[in-house]
Structure 1
Amino acid sequence: MLKVYAVENLRSGMRVGRDIMDENDQILIGTGTNLTKEMIYGLLDRPIFAVYIEEEETHGEIPGKEHLLDDSYTNCYNEVYDKLSVLFTGLAERGEFNAADLQSIMDEKNFTELSDGAKAVSQIHNMEQSGSYLIHHCLHVGILAGLMAKWLGMSVLDQYNLVIAGLFLDIGKLRVPREILEKQGSLTDSEFEMVKKHAQFGYDMLSQTTMNANQDIMQGVLQHHERCDGSGYPNGLKGDKISKFGKILAILDIYDAMASDRVFAKRKSPFDVFSTLYDDILDGKLDTEYGVLFIKHLCHALNGNWVGLSNGDKGRIVYLDESRVRSLPVVQTAGGEFIDLGQRRDIKVTCILTANEVMG
Structure 2
Amino acid sequence: MLKVYAVENLRSGLVVGRDIMDEKGNVLISTGTALTKEMIYGLLDRPIFSVYIEEKEPAAEVPGQDHLLDDEYLDCYQDAYTKLAKMFQELAERGQFDAADLQALMDEKNFTVLSDGAKAVSQIHNMEHQEPYLVHHCLHVGILAGLMAKWLGLSMLDQYNLVIAGLFLDIGKLRIPAEVLDKQGSLTESEFDMVKKHAQFSHDMISMTTLNANQDIMRGVLQHHERCDGSGYPNHLTAENISSFGKILAILDMYDAMASDRIFAKRRSPFDVFATLYDDILDGKLDTEYGVLFIKHLCHSLNGNWVGLSNGEKARIVYLDESRVRSLPVVQTLSGEFIDLGKNRDIKVECILTANEVKA
Fold shared per TM-score above 0.5? yes
Match in the other structure for 1:236: 236
Residues 51, 180 of structure 1: alpha-carbon distance in 2 compared, 3 angstrom cutoff? same
- Equivalent residues of 1:49, 1:318 under 8 A apart: no
Offset at residue 129 of structure 1 (A):
1.0
Per-residue deviation, 1:63: 5.6
SS in structure 2 opposite 1:137?
helix
Instruction: Tell me: CA distance 1:82–1:27, structure 2 relative to 1, closer, same or farther (3 Å).
Output: closer
After alignment, is 2-11 or 134-143 more displaced?
2-11
User: Which amino acid is the alignment partner of residue 53 of structure 2?
Assistant: V
Query: TM-score, normalization: structure 2?
Result: 0.93
Instruction: Go from structure 1 to structure 2 and tell me whether the alpha carbon gap of 1:356 and 1:13 turns closer, same or farther (over 3 Å shift).
Output: same
Corresponding residue for residue 82 of structure 1? 82
CA–CA distance in structure 1, aligned partners of residues 9 and 20 of structure 2:
19
Secondary structure class of the residue paired with 2:55 = strand
Indicate conservation of the 8 Å contact 2:341/2:348, yes or no. yes
What CA deviation, in whole Å up to 9, does each residue of 1:131-183 have, x standing for no partner? 01000000000000000000000000000000000000000000000000000
- Checking the alignment, whether the CA contact within 8 Å between 1:20 and 1:27 is kept in structure 2 is no
Per the alignment, do residues 98 and 25 of structure 1 end up closer, same or farther by CA in structure 2, a change over 3 Å counting? Answer: closer
CA distance in 1, matches of 2:243, 2:199: 14
5 Å matches for 1:22-101?
22=20, 28-31=29-32, 33-42=33-42, 45=46, 46=48, 48-54=50-56, 61-62=61-62, 67-101=67-101
Q: What amino acid is aligned across from residue 18 of structure 2 in structure 1? A: I
Shift in Å at residue 97 of structure 1? 1.6
Give the counterpart letter for 1:20 in structure 2.
R
Checking the alignment, whether the CA contact within 8 Å between 1:63 and 1:334 is kept in structure 2 is no
Taking the aligned partners of 2:244 and 2:227, their CA distance within structure 1 comes to 12
SS at match of 2:350: strand
| Aligned pairs for 1:89-238 within 5 A | 89-238=89-238
Q: Partner letter of residue 306 of structure 1?
A: W
Work out whether residues 216 and 245 of structure 1, in 8 Å CA contact, stay in contact via their aligned partners in 2: yes
Amino acid at match of 1:141: V
By how many angstroms is 1:29 displaced? 3.3
- Matched residue count: 354
Counterparts in 2 of 1:107 and 1:28: CA distance versus 1, 3 Å:
closer
| Pair 1:64–1:29, CA change in 2 (3 A) | farther
- 1:301-347: CA deviation from partner (whole Å, max 9, x where unpaired): 11111111111111111111111000011111122111111111111
User: Hey, what's the Cα distance between the residues in 2 that align with 1:103 and 1:217?
Assistant: 15
Q: Following TM superposition, by how much is the alpha carbon of 1:26 offset from its aligned partner in structure 2, in angstroms?
A: 7.2
Q: C-alpha separation between the residues in 2 aligned to 1:171 and 1:131? A: 15
Contact residue 49 and residue 319 of structure 1 kept, 8 A: no
Cα distance in 2, alignment partners of residues 315 and 266 from structure 1: 20
Task: Report the TM-score when normalising by structure 1.
Answer: 0.93
Shift of 1:349: 0.5
Amino acid at match of 1:6: Y
Please tell me whether the aligned partners of residues 49 and 303 of structure 1 are also in contact (alpha carbons under 8 angstroms).
no
Sort the Cα spacing of 1:27 and 1:216 in 2 relative to 1 into closer, same or farther, 3 A.
closer
Please say which of residues 337-346 and 131-140 is displaced more in the overlay. Answer: 337-346
Q: 1:19 aligns with which of 14, 17, 20?
A: 17
* Distance of aligned partners of 1:132 and 1:50 in 2 relative to their CA distance in 1, 3 Å threshold: farther
What is the identity, as a one-letter code, of the residue corresponding to 2:206?
Answer: L
Distance 1:328 1:66 in 2: 28
Matched residue SS, 2:35:
coil
Decide whether the 8 Å contact of 1:169 with 1:202 is kept in 2.
yes
- Per the alignment, residue 6 of structure 1 pairs with 5
Worse overlay, 159-168 or 33-42:
33-42
Offset of residue 43 of structure 1: 5.0
C-alpha distance 318-123 of structure 1, shift in aligned 2 (>3 A): same
In 2, Cα distance between equivalents of 1:19 and 1:277: 34
- Residues 48 and 139 from structure 1, CA distance in 2 versus in 1: closer, same or farther, beyond 3 angstroms? closer
Note the residue ranges of structure 1 that are not aligned, 5 or more in a row. none
C-alpha RMSD over aligned residues: 2.1
- Shifted more, 3-12 versus 257-266: the winner is 3-12
2: CA distance, partners of 1:207 / 1:27: 50
Report if aligned partners of 2:60, 2:336 keep a CA contact under 8 Å in 1: no
Percent of aligned positions that are identical: 73
1:312 maps onto 2:307 in alignment: no
Distance 1:5 1:292 in 2: 22
Cα pair distance change 1:131/1:48, threshold 3 Å: closer
Q: 1:4 to 1:101 in 2, by over 3 A?
A: same
Structure 2 unpaired stretches of 5+: none
Secondary structure (helix, strand or coil) at the match of 2:82 reads helix
Q: Is 2:199–2:221's contact at 8 Å kept on the other side of the alignment? A: yes
Aligned mates of 2:26, 2:164 — CA distance in 1: 44
Provide closer, same or farther for how the CA distance between residues 62 and 76 of structure 1 changes in structure 2, counting only shifts above 3 A: same
Alignment of 1:264-303 (within 5 A): 264-303=264-303
Q: 1:350 to 1:143 in 2, by over 3 A?
A: same
Q: Deviations over 1:2-28 (max 9, x none)?
A: 6846233221133x2x73234679794
With over 3 angstroms needed to count, the CA separation of the structure-2 counterparts of 1:136 and 1:87, relative to structure 1, is same
> What per-residue deviation string (whole Å, max 9, x for no partner) do you get for residues 7-63 of structure 1?
33221133x2x73234679794343x43202333455543644422346x9x99426
The within-5 A match list for 1:320-359 is 320-359=320-359
